[in-house]
Structure 1
Amino acid sequence: MSVTGRALATALVLCGLGAAACGGTTADLARDRVGVPPVAATAAHPVTGGTAATPAGSATGAASASAASPTPVGKPLSGKVVVIDPGHNGQNYRHPAEINKQVDVLTKRKACDTTGTATANGYSEAAFTWDVSQRLDKILKNRGAKVVLTRQDNTGVGPCITQRAAIGNKARANVAISIHADGAGPANHGFHVIIPKRIGGPVDPVVKASERLGFDVRDAMRSGTGLPYSTYIGKDALDYRNDIGGLNLSTVPKVLVECGNMKNPTEAARFQQPAFRQKIALSLANGLQQYLTH
């Protein structure tokens, strides 16, 4: 499927980023500040057509924000429920029997979960996704959203991909997003967004909405992080699949974001920078807000 992308007219303002270590702590996150909204722009949506304002959104600053920091008005995501699904878990590798258990994702049977990938120097995908998810959680809550995480730490196992979908369904989320990073060949680089296909199952009613969400997240990631579209999978950073359990079983609009390739030296180095992980989180928040408010 070929759909012309829409540039998201969003300026991201990052200030006072904390010096959190890889997989940062709550105290580290408390020192981070989030973006403030620029003037909205108007652009045609590639799926629905027409025009829509595309603000980057806003969030109140951390307690340490200076008096000069702009103060956003209102809570643009009040009343919205967002489910964040941080891929994998930090102790999956210690429990192969549990995570290799086969589960039904409707189009096939797959492992309950996997260990995920890691950079050449051992920074794990599980730690990366957990850190980005914590940052995204903070930004969305500051914008008024109720946030539900599919796992509560990076020191456990799972949950299975079927359970991850069920958490979003039970929460009756307005939107859900699964955060990952890829482990392709070192020469490959760039991010992509995985969008569900119709499978004659529970995801079918939300496939079109998930596609619109995918465009919004894709555009915000490109604009906010400067990362290129994937050079090795999908088209224009979009990949339509019917074998992802967390998407196949979702009854709410949902996409999976592969934020880049952890085996690529350049992207691996950037992913280990707290400031860049904050950029990713803010970009994802802006994409979600674009979807939820237009």
Structure 2
Amino acid sequence: MGRGDLTNAEWDRLESFLPRGGARGGRWSDHRRVINGALYRVRTGVQWRDLPERFGPWETVYERHRRWSADGTWKMLLSKVQAAEDAVGGIDWDVSVDSTAVRAHQHAAGARKALPAAIAQKGAAPGTPGRSSLGEVARPAGGGGQIGKCLGRSRGGFTTKVHLVADGRGRPIAFILTPGHYGDGPQFERVLEQITVPRTGVGRPRTRPDHVLADKAYTSRRNRRYLRRRGIQHTMPERLDQQRHRHNRGSRGGRPTGFDSERYKKRNTVERAINRLKNFRSLATRYEKRAYIYLGTVTLATLLIWLRT
């Protein structure tokens, strides 16, 4: 077993959930070897063609990663692991929300126009046949050009932004991708809607955290109304311009928002989650042309974090 490969205990947790048959009734190559190859690439950031020979043909590893990114297999595996953790009380539901910008390599540009959903249909294999994981990719109007690939110009250059929710133990629970110039506040509802942790027994998936912590970028009246409507407690500081506007309106400005400075210190958990993700070199720099493949890379890295934390 090489450094970074799945241990026997980690493999035992995943093996029963993996698809049994390949496309058109064929047999898959060794799942464990292929997954280890994908993990090696995610961890080191090498080109697919430079994968060591012990992982088998690089085309097999890349095609499996591409297909499982499109049809939601990586997302399904992550949901299974999260469900097992939640069943034993291993998830701290005081969650934090934040985002991080990822610089896009020059190899990320130049993708031809295609519909990833059609690719997902082509090789559907897991428990949700034909289902695409693209719900976690921002869907702007039109969906064309670089915006459709979740690439945009920001102060950091040509970037993609990862918006994520982390539990109280610093593990990403849900995330979405947007172009790098998209603001954080407008994506608040979208990223929280991605929280879906299935139950191991009977019951609907858990979608509502106990408490949400976020910085000033998310402290809009719309976001606060959204949290109150769902019955979610929250801790977010108020911006100075919002305080002045409230004071200027007098009695019509409403009461000050509650803020627990001691509880707000726990927001560093999302910063630790971002740090863990960016330890994977394929996440710290985006090399993928397609947004759905990069999203699969983020999901695979998150899966490994959950298995080892």
Q: TM-score, normalised by structure 2?
A: 0.31
Q: TM-score, normalised by structure 1?
A: 0.33
Higher helix share: 2
